[in-house]
Amino acid sequence: MRDVIVIGGGPAGLAAAISARDNGAKSVLVIERDTCVGGILNQCIHNGFGLHRFKEELSGPEYASRFAGNLENIEVLTDTMVLEVTTDRVVRAVSREQGYMELKAKAIVLAMGCRERTRGAISIPGDRPAGVYTAGAAQRYLNIEGYMVGKNAVILGSGDIGLIMARRMTLEGAKVHACVELMPYSGGLTRNIVQCLNDFDIPLYLSHTITRIHGKNRVEGVTIAKVGPDRKPIAGTEFDIECDTVLLSVGLIPENELTRGAGIPIDRRTNGAYVYENMETLSEGIFACGNVVHVHDLVDYVSAESERAGAAAAKYALGEKASGKVITVENGEGVSYTVPQYIRPDNCDKKADLFFRVRNVYSNKCITVKNGEKTVASFKREHLAPGEMEHIIIPVSLMGDAEKLTVSVEEAE
Amino acid sequence: MYDVIIIGGGVIGTAAAYELTKYDLRVALFEKENDIATGTTKANSAIIHAGYDPVPGSLTARLNVRGNELAHEICKKLDVPFKETGSVVCAFGEEDDQTVKKLYDRGIQNGVPGLRILNKEEICALEPNISEEATSALYAPTAGVISPWEYALAFAETAVVNGLELHLNEKVTDIKENTVITEKGEYEAKYIVAAAGVNCAEIEGKVREPDYVLKANKGEYFLLDKSAFGIVNTVVFQCPNKNGKGVLVSPTVHGNIIVGPNAEGSSDKTDVSTTAQGLDFVRSAAYKSVPSLNLSANIRNFAGMRANTNNEDFIIRFVSPYFLSLAGIKSPGLASAPAIAEYVCELLKEAGLKMDKKQSFTDSRKVIRFKELSPEEKSEIIKKDPAYGRVICRCETITEGEINATFKTPIPPVSIDGVKRRCNAGMGRCQGGFCAPRVLDIIHKHTGIPKEKILKDKEGSYVLSGGAL
Amino acid sequence: MANIVCIVCPKGCRLTVDEKTFEVTGNNCPRGAAYGKTELTFPTRVLTSTVKIENGEISRCPVRTNGAIPKGKMFEVMSALRKVTLVSPVKIGDVVIPNVCDTGIDVIATRNI
């Protein structure tokens, strides 16, 4: 029986494992399905990681190495796939070396990350040729394997990975004809619009979508159309672009098959497990952190969240269980989700961190936290956008007798 | 000189090959694509119909019912994923109720076993998620769902083991009397059996002007994630009415939910693209049967082409002394495949082909599916071959061992989709986003094909057309 | 007045830069002010890419410029990187090309291979 088993050796899993060890867990095991730890960071060779945490701009592999280099006294099984997790904290896994394993833990941390939405998820009509990839798949081919998926690309979705790939492919000699975004605003960070699209004169079509993919065997082109406020294509606005590649950067989905398999309740809003203030899921002793809980925009925040999860898992493994009353955090006007969804004030160290996303682009608004009609806390924000995760800190002293707290976007006074 | 040349490597051609290789005959099969089951066989509803739908007395009725019976046995023998889920045809109103009764009567005449008409309560008990508007339903317990491409592969692989000469990538360009002319050569045969699917008229046209009109008809589908599994337990059809045949919602044998198809006449029989209108139609029609259907769990859309003709029945007959044409094999062609194959043998025998059973015929096939193994079996197989301990396709839990095994089959894959058709790698919710680079590596290892030349599916479908850095 | 978006951090502050005095407003930190001026006078970027590596567990080694290079030199540096073949082992921070294209900036490895 181990103290803590962490499932996933990406940025979340590594930070959680290190934190569990540093908080007193004696035996910590990380299970990673790839042949090395680091997760998706290994293929994210661009810079921009670690500004918050390390006050410097690192590439993905460098950021990962800061954690991968700090795994003393942590057992790591790579090239190992977890097949099943149970709520009585049994992990079933397989690997070439160890065969079929059944491992027990006092606490489990789920850190499986997320996956990209695919063509099917958005039902792009047309032919089904080769040449349609998620941006991350193309990134792996290019940055790890050293192969270009094509020479003439159109990118659907302006998520960060898509923007980063627009620049990357351009630098490697491909022509990126356009980045097409369904929404009237970009899904990625503004800095990436500047340095990945504008720097290379790649047009960004907001409120547009791909309505058809052409090409029987390999992509030969796409039809693009403007969309109305209902996000439906407007007839008559179509135009074609010839290309051999379509990259999709249309969102990420937390990878919760193991969580679901265990029967741990999942929040439909985040597509991740419901969690308490310490990242414990609704199944006692099973914690979750990083993109498997909710999709983050910055790895720095993943690390911070995962450290909280790891520390809490260690605490649990050492016999200290969280208890006390539970406050439900509800989404008010303009808020699409919050993490955590539940706060146990007795288990907080004076404050609770709350992360959330807003539904729309807003300027000069106020984030309010209310207990019924009573405003408990409010935070001014000059700029809010769905693509940027928000963070507020609520002191426990302000929670009072609340049964639930509602977070909303309101007009600034 | 061959005894029989089969044209077409879909489920009909391969079923015929399987049946013919039971006899002491020299048989060849020509397929224009690089793999088995790349046409209509891989893009359909994947249903083994019970047989109440075809007009009593028709060839289709007979072959469907017999094909269903055979499918049950063959899938066991050849290890093809098949599940007898049963099917329901739901009525929504009085007119539909009449249709249900009519189909019941037809089914009885066709000899379909176990048919029952369900009332509202019985429908709810069987299918709790079916719309409350449902008034009655025809229940057919023998209907089932199958993996159509694995069915065809099982036929083809078994046939190859038993002596079939398989010619992939070899398109038939002409037929002169009893000689088949391809891009690569000329082959003489005592008999030619054409199972060319949507190309039936084109192939038959090389012998004589077909006496039927091909009316190729496209159907579009949604394939939903496993998280949607359980929304229906059986194949849920709607009643055919003046607005069309209705769409089905069905479990797949792989644990997904399939929804579709529409029916759209097509002037281009090679056009299997999906369309916004077609998908919208399927979407709204499906909600009629299952209002709570979660179509946002979609992982893939696809379309398939039906070889419809102006004749409702299958068109199976000699059109020259040497040429047996299997034309207009649309639904329930998949269900009928092994029965069509038997019928082909009968017709060839009648025509004078000497057909003696082989002394030894290998009539079995075994596929290791790691995720279906017990913990002990998993342990055991990884000990024997550690490649079974490395999961390559995380969505479907497909191991390197299973992918390696496909290269040791009688018809090894040559593309990423070829691997997918054989062991399901890349069939899951991420649609190969994660495993395709790894599968590509494995293909490269086994075949030595340079990575930039590896195909997604058909010729020309290069995955890495940008080349190496 | 030029309106630009600051790219020094993910915040993406909207800067207004006076084209004569290079006075910057809208920044939330001093790095933003510096960026605003540089972007108008002498725009620079950090370049990241990969180079070939032999005998490693993977065949591409990620690299980056160890500082910003002139924006106009990005493709020139890319060409220089195409000529490089590393041999494993390589450590993070190892110089792959010193003073690449006379920019005064080194290209360094960003993964241990």
B379's tokens: 């342990």
Residue with tokens 């952190």: A289
A269's tokens: 């809003």
Instruction: Let me know how long chain B is.
Output: 469
Q: Is C3 on the interface with A (CB under 8 A)?
A: no
Inter-chain touch B397–A120, beta carbons under 8 Å: no
Question: What pLDDT, on the 0 to 100 scale, is given for residue C7?
Answer: 86
- Three state DSSP letters for B320-331: CCCEEEEECCCC
Q: Do B166 and B294 fall within a single domain?
A: no
How many beta carbons lie within 10 A of that of residue B341, not counting itself?
A: 30
Q: Is residue B466 part of a domain?
A: no
Nearest residue of B to residue C83, measured between CA atoms: B469
DSSP B451: G
Q: Where are the alpha helices (DSSP H) in A220-332?
A: 257-262, 299-317
Q: Do B289 and B191 fall within a single domain?
A: no
pLDDT at A234 over 80: yes
Complex prediction ipTM: 0.94
Q: Do B49 and B197 fall within a single domain?
A: yes
The domain ranges of chain C are 2-42, 48-109
Single-letter amino acid code for the residue at A60: G
Please report the DSSP string for chain C in residue order: -EEEE--SSTT--EEEE-TTT--EES-SSHHHHHHHHHHHHS-EE--EEEEEEESSSSSEEEEEESS-EEGGGHHHHHHHHHT-EEES---TT-EEETTGGGSS--EEE-S--
Q: Is C5 on the interface with A (CB under 8 A)?
A: yes
Q: Compute the half-sphere exposure of residue A25: CA atoms within 13 Å on the CB side of its CA.
A: 35
Q: What is the distance in angstroms between the Cα of B85 and the nearest Cα belonging to chain C?
A: 47
Q: Compute the half-sphere exposure of residue A361: CA atoms within 13 Å on the CB side of its CA.
A: 9
Q: Do B296 and B399 fall within a single domain?
A: no
Question: What is the phi/psi pair of residue C3, to 5°?
Answer: -100, 120
Nearest residue of A to residue B226, measured between CA atoms: A257
Q: Which of residues 50-109 of C touch A (CB under 8 A)?
A: 50, 52, 57-60, 62-64, 71, 74-75, 78, 92
Bridge partner list, A29: A5, A75
Q: Which residues of C touch B469 (CB under 8 A)?
A: 50, 52, 60, 82
**Is B49 a residue of the active site?**
yes
pLDDT in tens, B5-63: 999 999 999 999 999 999 999 999 999 999 999 999 999 999 999 999 999 999 999 99
Q: Which residues of C touch A146 (CB under 8 A)?
A: 50, 52, 59-60
Q: Which of residues 6-65 of C touch B (CB under 8 A)?
A: 50, 52, 60
Inter-chain touch A51–C9, beta carbons under 8 Å: yes
Q: Is B468 on the interface with C (CB under 8 A)?
A: no
Question: What pLDDT, on the 0 to 100 scale, is given for residue C10?
Answer: 73
End-of-domain residue from the set B290, B306, B322? B306
CATH number reported for the structural domain that contains residue B72 in this entry: 3.50.50.60
Specify whether the CB–CB gap between B237 and B249 falls below 8 A.
no
Q: Do B441 and B397 fall within a single domain?
A: yes
pLDDT means per 10 residues, chain B with 469 residues, are 98 98 98 97 97 97 98 98 97 95 97 97 96 96 98 98 98 97 97 98 97 96 95 96 84 97 92 96 96 95 96 97 97 97 98 96 97 96 97 96 98 97 95 93 96 96 95
Q: Domain residues for B350?
A: 1-82+142-213+310-366
Q: Sorting pLDDT into bands at 50, 70 and 90, what band is A269?
A: very high
Q: Is C110 on the interface with A (CB under 8 A)?
A: yes
Single-letter amino acid code for the residue at A210: I
Q: Is residue B70 part of a domain?
A: yes
Please report the DSSP string for A312-332 in residue order: HHHHHHTT----S--EEEEE-
Q: What is the distance in angstroms between the Cα of A373 and the nearest Cα belonging to chain B?
A: 36
Q: What is the spatial distance between Cα A196 and Cα A185, in angstroms, rounded to a whole number?
A: 16
pLDDT in tens, C36-54: 999 999 999 999 999 999 9
Q: Do B327 and B431 fall within a single domain?
A: no
Specify whether the CB–CB gap between A77 and A95 falls below 8 A.
yes
pLDDT at A199 over 80: yes
Mutate to test the interface with C, among A35, A40, A46 (most CBs of C within 10 A): A46
Spell out the domains of chain A, with CATH numbers in brackets. 1-115+252-322 (3.50.50.60), 118-250 (3.50.50.60), 323-413 (2.60.40)
Specify whether the CB–CB gap between A221 and A152 falls below 8 A.
no
Q: Do B134 and B278 fall within a single domain?
A: yes
DSSP A55: S
Q: Do B149 and B136 fall within a single domain?
A: no
SS3 call for A70: coil
Question: What is the phi/psi pair of residue C77, to 5°?
Answer: -65, -40
CATH number reported for the structural domain that contains residue B399 in this entry: 1.10.10
Q: Sorting pLDDT into bands at 50, 70 and 90, what band is A400?
A: confident
Bridge partner list, B260: B248
Q: Is residue B286 part of a domain?
A: yes
Question: What pLDDT, on the 0 to 100 scale, is given for residue A140?
Answer: 96
Q: Do B226 and B374 fall within a single domain?
A: no
Q: Is residue B411 part of a domain?
A: yes
C48-109 under CATH 3.10.530.10, yes or no: yes
Tally of domains within chain B:
3
pLDDT at A150 over 90: yes
SS3 call for A34: coil
Nearest residue of B to residue C59, measured between CA atoms: B469
Question: What pLDDT, on the 0 to 100 scale, is given for residue B52?
Answer: 96
Q: What is the spatial distance between Cα B280 and Cα A349, in angstroms, rounded to a whole number?
A: 52
Helix (H) or strand (E) segment spanning residue A406: strand A404-411
pLDDT in tens, B321-336: 999 999 999 999 999 9
Q: Is residue B301 part of a domain?
A: yes
Nearest residue of A to residue B278, measured between CA atoms: A125
How many beta carbons lie within 10 A of that of residue B386, not counting itself?
A: 18
Q: Is residue B467 part of a domain?
A: no
Inter-chain touch A189–C58, beta carbons under 8 Å: no
- Order of strands across the sheet that contains A404-411: A342-343, A327-331, A404-411, A362-371, A374-384
Question: What pLDDT, on the 0 to 100 scale, is given for residue C1?
Answer: 84
Q: Do B280 and B394 fall within a single domain?
A: no
CA-closest candidate to residue B349, choices B131, B23, B9: B23
pTM above 0.80, yes or no: yes
Q: Do B389 and B361 fall within a single domain?
A: no
Q: Is B125 on the interface with C (CB under 8 A)?
A: no
Q: Is residue B269 part of a domain?
A: yes
**Interface size between B and C, measured as CB pairs under 8 A:** 4
Q: Do B170 and B149 fall within a single domain?
A: yes
Using a 10 angstrom Cβ sphere, with 0-12 exposed, 13-18 middle and 19 or more buried, the burial of residue A203 is exposed
